[in-house]
């Protein structure tokens, strides 16, 4: 790079390439190079420009960010007023909109109206003025006739071209569109603000507005703003096409980004089905929208229709139902969920939000209540977005009455009176009542009966619901006193199935300590923790007497699990249920704890597959007592595969890997030899 001419040429090429790639990305949504390659081009241009500053021009892609903060924004007049839109809520109001248009245009029954349809972005309106293809002014809407000059901030938005593409644009071209902040960027911005202990933004729209109103463009440049064009201001000479859709198409050719969801639709039916389609897509879009805008496509018709006060007659915003409303909190209650989670709920003065009447809103958990400091009597903002459960977003502090105090977590479960426990560092508080708490009863019994717990065949969800609702069963132990008579009285329960269930209950009484522990539904005691506890303690008595320190000697048992176990057995009603279960005959083979030197299978990994004549769990337990590790899949590390009848893929895998395979007889022979 030695001659000045070569430098100038390279600079020119780089600018064109960078602008081309920006357009591919923002306007056509079809990037052709990676971000890294883009950055490389950008850096090369920056380097050249700093070496040869005499060649810097204002609309070079490197010149988006100025370096001087403003003292204030200048006011500017709009050449043509920036209007707003009439709203329609519901299909009926959309019908009225079209009827008014048909009347004014005196259309016959068979003359159809085409509309340009697009989402209504939830950001803020901006007017961009291009003179001779160069961005010279960007202004906010303000009061519609006068706005603020935010040019230096808007220049930092990469989606906004500083220079139009091609050469067939009108010398004066004003376009209007929406500046918005995509949700991802908004979330990242708020996360960052929270980390720094700064105030976060309520929603992406506020964040976009706040970002454009920064006096220092270097700050705006760091905000993830984007932009879509949807209309025009002053255009000389006008028009650039005969329909709205063609005009927008031309804007796109000149490098202005346009919503990819734009579509021309016909008649009111076309509008309604477009609306429904956008409703479906709404949650998946990367930015917030609050409705759909329809504009009569034919510009002659637009002109004929004209304006009423501040809105065009030829356009309408079909709004989604508002997702946020204000109302008053009547009281705050604590609900106990199926798993014992305590959820604070605000009882509200009923309010219509997100398309339904809402009278309860979740406050999620105590940390949230404290953070938002919601109190009875407060006026709050309630949000219901899509199918998400309604929630309290924030308190309107200005409206708070005197004499209220922050809410505190109750110490006892409002349903059963058991202790409420909120482990340190966890957000969720829980009722410790477990099987005893009526709110958790159904869930506790379903868990108790499930395959990996007591494995009571035929005791499904619907049946448990009926048993509890009819007062036949209060806790798992009650299951074992059910009679044939009681059972056959239930819905969809023939005599035969009643007998089958009684048989299944009888069969379930022979279990293992691990299954029994798991079936009690102690928090954090899953299947494998239950197994470790059973291995460690061998008897229920020993386990019940263990303190937290002793419990923590068990592999995989830490302070949290230990605390849950202790708290479970400390509660008299839980001990009573356990007692009752033993009395009705639930039992398991006692196994003596083995010393390490009596564990001949220590270090051996065994997989069990296929149908065996004895319960697989009993076999598993027996092998574990001898020190074996039982796993679920065959690998090179497997020492034995125990294969019952109809062993399938595990058997073939073992054959492939040369793992030793034992049938049931060989297994018993092995166990015998180890005794
Ligand atoms: S057309 C002459 N199209 O909605 C009216 N507006 O409620 C021009 N908006 O101030 C507006 N997305 O900020 C139009 N696709 C869209 C829009 C849209 C968002 C905003 C715009 C306007 C407000 C009116």
Kindly report the protein residue whose alpha carbon is nearest to atom 16 of ligand 1: 120
Percent of the chain whose predicted confidence (pLDDT) is above 70: 98
Ligand 1 centroid vs 203 CA: distance in angstroms?
A: 18
Position in ligand 1 atom list of the atom nearest CA 312: 2
CATH of 324-399, one of 3.40.50.300, 3.40.640.10, 3.20.190.10, 2.40.50.140: 2.40.50.140
User: What's the pLDDT at 611?
Assistant: 87
What's the rounded mean pLDDT across residues 10-33? 92
Write b or e for each residue in 409-445: b if 16 or more Cβ atoms lie within 10 A of its Cβ, otherwise e. eeeebebbebebbeeeeeebbbbbbbbbbebbbbbbb
Greater confidence (314 vs 308) lies with 314
Ligand 1 centroid vs 420 CA: distance in angstroms?
A: 51
pLDDT in tens, 109-137: 889 999 999 999 999 999 999 999 999 99
- Mutate which of 85, 296, 297 for ligand 1 pocket (most atoms within 8 A of beta carbon): 85
Residues 6+ apart with CB under 8 A from 347: 329, 330, 331, 332, 333, 359, 360
Would you state the structure tokens that stand for residue 300, as one six-digit string?
Answer: 């002659």
Ligand 1 centroid vs 84 CA: distance in angstroms?
A: 6
CA–CA gap between residue 301 and residue 100 (Å, rounded):
13
319 and 89 in contact (C-beta within 8 Å)? yes
pLDDT at residue 593 above 60? no
Query: What are the residue numbers of the active site?
Result: 120
- Mutate which of 78, 147, 178 for ligand 1 pocket (most atoms within 8 A of beta carbon): 178
Residue 108 to residues 111, 113, 268, 283, 657, Cα–Cα distance (Å)? 5, 11, 15, 39, 80
Ligand 1 centroid vs 586 CA: distance in angstroms?
A: 70
- Mutate which of 285, 317, 322 for ligand 1 pocket (most atoms within 8 A of beta carbon): 317
User: What's the pLDDT at 299?
Assistant: 97
What's the rounded mean pLDDT across residues 150-161? 96
Residues 6+ apart with CB under 8 A from 460: none
Task: Give which of 146, 133, 230, 143 is closest to 180, Cα–Cα.
Answer: 230
pLDDT at residue 617 above 90? no
Residue 50 to residues 2, 43, 54, 559, Cα–Cα distance (Å)? 16, 10, 9, 61
- Mutate which of 82, 83, 84, 128 for ligand 1 pocket (most atoms within 8 A of beta carbon): 84
Residues forming beta bridges with residue 429, ordered by sequence position: 342
Kindly report the protein residue whose alpha carbon is nearest to atom 21 of ligand 1: 125
Three-state SS for 232?
A: strand
pLDDT at residue 233 above 90? yes
Position in ligand 1 atom list of the atom nearest CA 122: 19
Position in ligand 1 atom list of the atom nearest CA 259: 15
464 and 447 in contact (C-beta within 8 Å)? no
Position in ligand 1 atom list of the atom nearest CA 118: 15
Which of these ranges, 223-227, 262-266, 612-616, has the smallest mean pLDDT? Answer: 612-616
CA–CA gap between residue 52 and residue 5 (Å, rounded):
12
pLDDT in tens, 176-211: 999 999 999 999 998 998 888 888 887 899 999 999
What's the rounded mean pLDDT across residues 44-58? 94
Position in ligand 1 atom list of the atom nearest CA 311: 2
Task: Give which of 580, 585, 546 is closest to 566, Cα–Cα.
Answer: 546
255 and 227 in contact (C-beta within 8 Å)? no
Kindly report the protein residue whose alpha carbon is nearest to atom 17 of ligand 1: 120
Residues 6+ apart with CB under 8 A from 407: 332, 344, 369, 374, 375, 376
- Rounded to 5 degrees, φ, ψ at 302 are -55, -45
Which residue carries 């248009």 as its tokens? 101
607 and 630 in contact (C-beta within 8 Å)? yes
Cis, peptide link before residue 471, omega less than 30° from 0? no
SS (H, E, C) 51-108: HCHHHCCCCCHHHCCCCCCCCCCCEEECCCCCCCCCEECCHHHHHHHHHHHHHHHCCC
Radius of gyration of the chain from its Cα atoms, rounded to whole angstroms: 36
**Where exactly are the structural domains of the chain?**
3-64, 87-319, 324-399, 410-593, 596-673
Position in ligand 1 atom list of the atom nearest CA 82: 2
Three-state SS for 478?
A: helix
- Is domain 410-593 annotated with CATH 1.10.150.20? yes
What's the rounded mean pLDDT across residues 483-490? 89
pLDDT at residue 554 above 60? yes
Position in ligand 1 atom list of the atom nearest CA 119: 15
Residue 71 to residues 139, 213, 215, 247, Cα–Cα distance (Å)? 17, 12, 7, 38
| Architecture in CATH of 596-673 | 3-Layer(aba) Sandwich (3.40)
Residue-averaged pLDDT of the chain? 91
pLDDT at residue 435 above 80? no
Kindly report the protein residue whose alpha carbon is nearest to atom 6 of ligand 1: 120
Ligand 1 centroid vs 82 CA: distance in angstroms?
A: 10
- Mutate which of 293, 294, 295 for ligand 1 pocket (most atoms within 8 A of beta carbon): 293
Interhelix angle 91-105/267-281, rounded to 10 degrees, is 150
CA dihedral over 508, 513, 518, 522, signed as positive or negative? positive
User: What's the pLDDT at 492?
Assistant: 80
CATH of 87-319, one of 3.30.470.30, 3.40.30.10, 3.40.190.100, 3.40.640.10: 3.30.470.30
pLDDT at residue 244 above 90? yes
Residues 6+ apart with CB under 8 A from 59: 134, 135, 162, 163
Kindly report the protein residue whose alpha carbon is nearest to atom 9 of ligand 1: 120
Three-state SS for 310?
A: coil
Ligand 1 centroid vs 461 CA: distance in angstroms?
A: 51
Ligand 1 centroid vs 177 CA: distance in angstroms?
A: 7
pLDDT at residue 352 above 60? yes
Kindly report the protein residue whose alpha carbon is nearest to atom 3 of ligand 1: 230
Kindly report the protein residue whose alpha carbon is nearest to atom 15 of ligand 1: 120
Ligand 1, residues at Cβ distance < 6 Å: 83-85, 118, 120-121, 125, 141, 178, 230-231, 293, 312, 315, 317
What's the rounded mean pLDDT across residues 481-498? 88
DSSP string, 486-506: HHHTSTT--HHHHHHHHHHHH
Ligand 1 centroid vs 107 CA: distance in angstroms?
A: 27
120 and 149 in contact (C-beta within 8 Å)? no
Write b or e for each residue in 189-218: b if 16 or more Cβ atoms lie within 10 A of its Cβ, otherwise e. bbeeeeeeeeeebebbbebbbebbebeebe
Kindly report the protein residue whose alpha carbon is nearest to atom 12 of ligand 1: 120
Kindly report the protein residue whose alpha carbon is nearest to atom 22 of ligand 1: 84
123 and 179 in contact (C-beta within 8 Å)? yes
pLDDT at residue 280 above 60? yes
Kindly report the protein residue whose alpha carbon is nearest to atom 18 of ligand 1: 120
User: What's the pLDDT at 592?
Assistant: 59
Ligand 1 centroid vs 291 CA: distance in angstroms?
A: 10
| Architecture in CATH of 3-64 | Orthogonal Bundle (1.10)
User: What's the pLDDT at 616?
Assistant: 79
pLDDT in tens, 473-485: 988 999 999 999 9
Would you state the structure tokens that stand for residue 305, as one six-digit string?
Answer: 């229709």
287 and 226 in contact (C-beta within 8 Å)? yes
Compute CA 176 distance to the chain's CA centroid, rounded to the nearest angstrom: 33
pLDDT in tens, 383-417: 987 767 899 988 998 899 888 899 999 999 998 89
- Rounded to 5 degrees, φ, ψ at 579 are -55, -50
Position in ligand 1 atom list of the atom nearest CA 87: 7
Ligand 1 centroid vs 221 CA: distance in angstroms?
A: 24
């Amino acid at each position: 790079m030695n001659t000045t001419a070569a430098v100038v040429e390279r600079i020119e090429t780089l600018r064109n390439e960078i602008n081309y790639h920006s357009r591919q990305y923002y306007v056509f949504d079809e990037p052709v190079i990676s971000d890294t390659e883009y950055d490389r081009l950008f850096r090369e241009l920056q380097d050249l420009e700093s070496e040869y500053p005499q060649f810097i021009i204002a609309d070079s892609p490197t010149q988006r960010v100025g370096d001087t903060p403003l003292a204030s924004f200048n006011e500017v007049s709009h050449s043509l007023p920036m209007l707003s839109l009439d709203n329609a809520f519901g299909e009926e109001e959309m019908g009225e909109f079209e009827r008014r248009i048909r009347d004014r245009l005196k259309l016959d029954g068979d003359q159809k109206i085409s509309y340009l349809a697009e989402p209504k972005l939830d950001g803020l309106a901006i007017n961009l003025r291009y003179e001779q293809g160069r961005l010279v002014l960007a202004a906010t809407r303000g009061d519609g006739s006068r706005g603020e000059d935010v040019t230096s901030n808007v220049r930092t938005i990469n989606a906004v071209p500083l220079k139009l593409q091609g050469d067939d644009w009108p010398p004066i071209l004003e376009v209007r569109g929406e500046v918005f902040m995509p949700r991802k960027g908004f979330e990242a911005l708020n996360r960052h603000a929270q980390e720094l202990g700064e105030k976060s933004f309520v929603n992406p729209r506020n964040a976009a507005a706040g970002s454009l109103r920064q006096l220092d463009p270097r700050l705006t440049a760091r905000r993830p703003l984007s932009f879509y064009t949807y209309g025009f201001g002053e255009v000389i000479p006008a028009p650039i096409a005969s329909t709205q859709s063609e005009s927008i198409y031309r804007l796109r050719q000149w490098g202005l980004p346009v919503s990819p969801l734009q579509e021309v639709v016909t008649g009111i039916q076309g509008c309604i089905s477009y609306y429904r389609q956008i409703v479906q897509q709404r949650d998946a879009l990367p930015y917030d929208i609050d409705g759909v805008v329809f504009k009569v496509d034919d510009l002659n018709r637009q002109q004929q229709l004209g304006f009423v006060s501040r809105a065009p007659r030829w356009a309408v915003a079909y709004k989604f139902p508002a997702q946020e409303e204000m109302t008053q909190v009547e009281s705050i209650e604590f609900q106990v969920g199926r798993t014992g989670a305590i959820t604070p709920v605000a009882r509200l003065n009923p309010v219509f939000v997100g398309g339904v009447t809402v009278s309860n809103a979740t406050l999620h958990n105590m940390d949230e209540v404290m953070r938002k400091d919601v109190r009875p009597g407060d006026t709050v903002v309630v949000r219901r977005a899509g199918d998400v459960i309604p929630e309290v977003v924030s308190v309107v502090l200005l409206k708070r009455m005197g004499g209220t105090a922050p809410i505190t977590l109750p110490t006892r479960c409002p349903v059963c009176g058991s202790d409420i426990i909120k482990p340190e560092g966890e957000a969720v508080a829980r009722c410790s009542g477990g099987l005893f708490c009526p709110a958790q009863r159904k869930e506790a019994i379903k868990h108790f009966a499930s395959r990996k717990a007591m494995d009571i065949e035929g005791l499904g969800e619907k049946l448990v619901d009926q048993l509890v609702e009819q007062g036949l069963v209060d806790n798992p132990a009650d299951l074992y006193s059910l009679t044939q008579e009681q059972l056959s009285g239930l819905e969809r329960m023939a005599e035969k199935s009643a007998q089958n269930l009684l048989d299944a209950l009888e069969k379930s009484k022979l279990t293992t300590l691990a299954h029994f522990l798991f079936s009690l539904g102690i928090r954090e005691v899953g299947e494998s923790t239950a197994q470790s506890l059973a291995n460690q303690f061998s008897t229920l008595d020993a386990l019940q007497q263990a303190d937290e320190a002793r419990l923590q000697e068990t592999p995989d048992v830490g302070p949290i699990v230990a605390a849950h176990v202790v708290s479970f057995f400390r509660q008299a009603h839980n001990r009573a249920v356990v007692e009752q279960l033993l009395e009705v005959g639930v039992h398991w083979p006692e196994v003596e704890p083995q010393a390490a030197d009596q564990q001949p299978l220590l270090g051996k990994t065994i997989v069990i597959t296929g149908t065996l004549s004895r319960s697989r769990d009993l076999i598993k337990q027996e092998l574990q007592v001898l020190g074996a590790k039982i796993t679920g899949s065959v690998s090179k590390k497997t020492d034995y595969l125990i294969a019952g009848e109809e062993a399938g893929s595990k058997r073939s895998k073992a054959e492939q890997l040369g793992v030793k395979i034992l049938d049931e007889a060989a297994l018993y022979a092995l166990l015998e030899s180890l005794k």
